[in-house]
A = this chain, B = another copy of it.
């Protein structure tokens, strides 16, 4: 490029996921031409957020305080813990369900091939809370994938060690969907877990 700093900026933008050399160049030129104010604001937000946003000490949700807003909410039942894989899952559940307990965020799933072990998912923190009796009931809201099931199995074993009950959110055909488009695994689970209506 025409300027050393511009080259550095283009290279720096590539730390964003899904941004290659061409998009990085397009982004840098766009910001310089059209949105210098927004870009400077983004720059200071990045520095500030990376310095101050940490994990909640109890549930690993991203927060600036020692405890996140769910863990520090006295109206929530701290003994009920819902285990999820990603921050987006926390928001989805919080928006949709009448859940009044707290969360535990794994930030991923067990994946030995990618070098993700129990410690990376905070399993030691979870075990600590299971051991000291602060968890009365675990609800697993882990993605119904193969890796998710392996991760769930690991948590069930942990909970069994301390005889804490584990629940799983219901699996079946999604509401508003049409049966002919449901995949066969979902349909077979939905049949196996059918419930009586009368």
Closest to A48 in B: B5
Q: Which of A18-26, A74-82, A147-155, A161-169 contacts the other chain?
A: A18-26
Of the candidates B3, B8, B69, B86, the one whose C-beta lies within 8 Å of that of A29 is B86
Bound Cα distance A27, B183 (Å): 31
Q: Would you call A93 an interface residue if the criterion is a C-beta within 8 Å of the partner chain's C-beta atoms?
A: no
Q: Which residues of B contact A33 (CB under 8 A)?
A: 107
Closest to A59 in B: B2
Closest to A44 in B: B47
Q: Would you call A182 an interface residue if the criterion is a C-beta within 8 Å of the partner chain's C-beta atoms?
A: no
Say yes or no: A53 contacts B6, CB within 8 Å: yes
Contact with B along A61-82 (1 / 0, CB 8 A): 1111000111000000000000
A108 to B: closest C-beta gap in Å? 8
Say yes or no: A3 contacts B43, CB within 8 Å: no
A31 and B8 contact, Cβ closer than 8 Å, known pairs A3-B63, A39-B15, A62-B3:
no
Q: Would you call A171 an interface residue if the criterion is a C-beta within 8 Å of the partner chain's C-beta atoms?
A: no
Beyond A4-B64, A13-B42, A32-B62, 11 additional contacts (C-beta under 8 Å) are: A1-B87, A2-B87, A3-B53, A9-B49, A9-B53, A12-B45, A16-B16, A29-B88, A39-B46, A39-B49, A47-B47
- Chain A positions within 8 Å of B, measured between CB atoms, are 1-6, 8-9, 12-13, 15-18, 23, 25-33, 35-36, 38-53, 56, 61-64, 68-70, 86-88, 90-91, 107
